[in-house]
A = this chain, B = another copy of it.
């Protein structure tokens, strides 16, 4: 399904959270779709089940998935504009990164190109997923 970098200094469970977030964001995992069970995913990735569970718990608390006892975890349907709190964080992060990028010599054009690239990528993903 996807790859983890066991060498990375980033904890495995965080990598999992990020990857799954990306899959949800890019609509590979659709709203209300069931996520793989903790045990399955653990076996598939040859990783400790506790680690998977920690990731799922984190995703749940961030509002990306919801869990139903005895049935599993599912993708939380998006509520646009809902999480103003999350948005605020993202905006702050963007500001920081922008100033750092500029300081390191990137031009606004380069940054914009990057944004365009990501935007295009998203469209491509959805179309691929839809087709």
- Complex Cα distance, B6 from A74, in Å, reads 11
- Grouping DSSP codes into helix (H, G, I), strand (E, B) and loop, the A interface class, with mixed when no group exceeds half, is helix
- What is the CA–CA distance of A18 and B123 in the complex, to the nearest angstrom? 34
A95 to B112, CA, bound (A): 11
The one of B6, B76, B119 that contacts A102, using a Cβ cutoff of 8 Å: B119
B94 and A114 contacting across the interface, CB-CB below 8 Å: yes
Contacts of A105 in B (CB 8 A): 80-81, 87
Nearest-neighbour CB distance to chain B for A84, whole angstroms, equals 9
Contacts of A68 in B (CB 8 A): 6-9
For A99, the chain B residues whose CB sits under 8 A away are 22, 25-26, 118, 121-122
